[in-house]
């Protein structure tokens, strides 16, 4: 009976025990690989978080620089518009002054003509006086 039942059964048990040990070793290796993968994933995740923070800071810096540039451009544009407006106002004032000066000269000459019988009396004096007037 030993030959037919016990020896084959013991051989079978030894094979099964060997398989079980191999499976245990494979399981331990798998657990180590799994742990290494988790650790590597943590490292990658931390690196990604640091990169995201860095990218955010860079974007904020760039946004501030662009905002400053836009404000400076707007100030420059406003200054140009203001200078042009001031120049336009000055030109318009000079034009109006010249027109007013001509009208005053006409009125003064008419008054001069009515006051003096000669229309040319004091004409040169009035013209020179108005020409010497500065704005």
Chain CA centroid to CA 51, Å:
22
For residue 62, give its domain range.
2-132
Contact 44, 52 (CB under 8 A): no
pTM above 0.75, yes or no: no
**Residues with Cβ < 8 Å from 97, sequence gap 6 or more?**
135
Contact 122, 130 (CB under 8 A): no
Q: How many domains does the chain have?
A: 1
The confidence score (pLDDT) of residue 121 equals 59
Rounded CA-CA distance 110/119 in Å is 8
Among 70, 89, 88, CA closest to 78: 70
Give per-residue pLDDT as tens, 104-114. Answer: 878 877 777 77
**Cα 78 to Cα 1, 58, 81, distances in angstroms:** 112, 30, 5
Give per-residue pLDDT as tens, 26-60. Answer: 999 999 999 999 999 999 999 999 999 999 999 99
């Amino acid at each position: 009976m030993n030959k037919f039942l016990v020896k084959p059964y013991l051989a079978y048990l030894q094979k099964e025990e060997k398989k079980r040990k191999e499976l245990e070793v494979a399981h331990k290796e798998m657990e180590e690989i799994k742990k290494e993968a988790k650790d590597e994933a943590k490292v990658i995740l931390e690196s990604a978080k640091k990169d995201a923070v860095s990218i955010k800071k860079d974007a904020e810096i760039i946004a501030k620089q662009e905002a400053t540039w836009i404000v400076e451009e707007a100030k420059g544009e406003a200054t140009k518009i203001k200078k042009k407006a001031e120049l336009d106002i000055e030109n318009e004032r000079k034009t109006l002054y010249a027109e007013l000066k001509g009208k005053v000269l006409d009125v003064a000459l008419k008054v001069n003509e009515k006051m003096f019988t000669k229309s040319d009396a004091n004409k040169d004096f009035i013209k020179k006086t108005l020409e010497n007037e500065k704005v």
